[in-house]
Amino acid sequence: MSAAADTVSGRITGLADKCVDVADGNSASGTQVQLYDCNGTPAQEWTNPGDGTLRAFGKCLDVRDGSIADAADVRLWDCNGTPAQQWVITEAKDIVNPAADKCLDVRAYNSANRTPLQIWPCQGAANEKWNTSALGTSSGTGPQNPVPVPTGDGGSTSGFVVSEAQFNQMFLNRNSVYTYDGLLAALGAYPAFANSGNDTVKKREAAAFLANVSHETGGLAHIVEQNTANYPAYCDAGQPYGCPAGQAAYYGRGPIQLSWNYNYKAAGDALGIDLLNNPGLVESDSSVAWKTGLWYWNTQVGPGSMTPHDAMSNDAGFGQTIRSINGALECDGKYPAQVQSRVDSYVGFTQILGVDPGGNLSC
């Protein structure tokens, strides 16, 4: 068979049925490769010439600078025969770069137009699945059976249903205080968390907790409340123990944005940590920060009728966790955009974990 006959071409579709696209139809080397509405233009026409490459405009899909690191960008580049331009299309609908042993991935699970594509550890999630039927099921001379893609448990050896790779995928731009190891260390304070019921229930609860704290902290980017003008307001001087750390010391901190002197007192008492006198521990100690989030999740009803832990472990649905955290301001049509933001994060995280999100998502 001639080389011309070996070459097949077509579009590659992924998250939200959008296309792998060369930004702005620019054929120059270095142009970003991204997700974009399918439009039938040459910028979305990819060929598989049978040499392990995927090409548009006669140039190759390339991992920037030959990187094998998580989150390395992909781009268009002159074909040069390097491992950065080798791809294997698997029957599981992954597109794998064997040199990095990582999958072509839509960054941050974002289906918006112009979201960059990258390489990331293969998780089996929807943002790493591609319809390449026009290009065949395997590409090039690379391995036809690459390293197995992890299933929904992510290969975690900690006993927690979220692996470190999955956690990193959920929170690409997190504050350095929010470490995975800190989260693992905090789990012992509430052993029932994400550890009640079957694997589906466990994964849904982990996704629900992480989705809510992601919303509260801008994707774990913020360890403290951003509006400093509010700081002096969180001292309830009517409490018998007062505010020993100072009038403005009890502002929002940590993954659930713990605030008010009485909440620092209650959380500290429950955890055996003197947070009333040392509230700064919540922003400096990763384990303490995570423990305060788990304290609220597992013990506090808030404006709802049940704790978030009970909502997820008893299959009441993600919407009830929103109600328990901020229902007075967001639920019952008060702030639907905020509710939807939480739901979107939850659905995205359940997909990363490989589990159905269940029903009753909104409040």
Catalytic residues: 216
Note whether 74 and 119 are within 8 A (CB): yes
Q: Hunting for tokens 């955290």 — which residue is that?
A: 325
**Closest to 252 (Cα-Cα) out of 241, 244, 263, 242:** 263
**Closest to 322 (Cα-Cα) out of 21, 281, 124, 312:** 312
- Quote the strand ranges of 121-234, DSSP E: none
**How does DSSP classify residue 32?**
B
Q: Hunting for tokens 């509405």 — which residue is that?
A: 37
Cα–Cα distance for residue pair 227/323, rounded to 1 Å: 23
Rg (CA), the chain: 23
Please give the structure tokens belonging to residue 14.
């992924």
Q: Are strands 74-77 and 59-63 parallel, antiparallel or unpaired?
A: antiparallel
Cα–Cα distance for residue pair 127/358, rounded to 1 Å: 19
Determine the residue type at 33: V
**How does DSSP classify residue 62?**
E
Note whether 44 and 36 are within 8 A (CB): yes
Please give the structure tokens belonging to residue 350.
């359940």
What separation in angstroms does the CA of 76 have from each of 42, 96, 106, 141, 336?
13, 16, 16, 21, 40
- Secondary element (H or E) of residue 22: strand 19-22
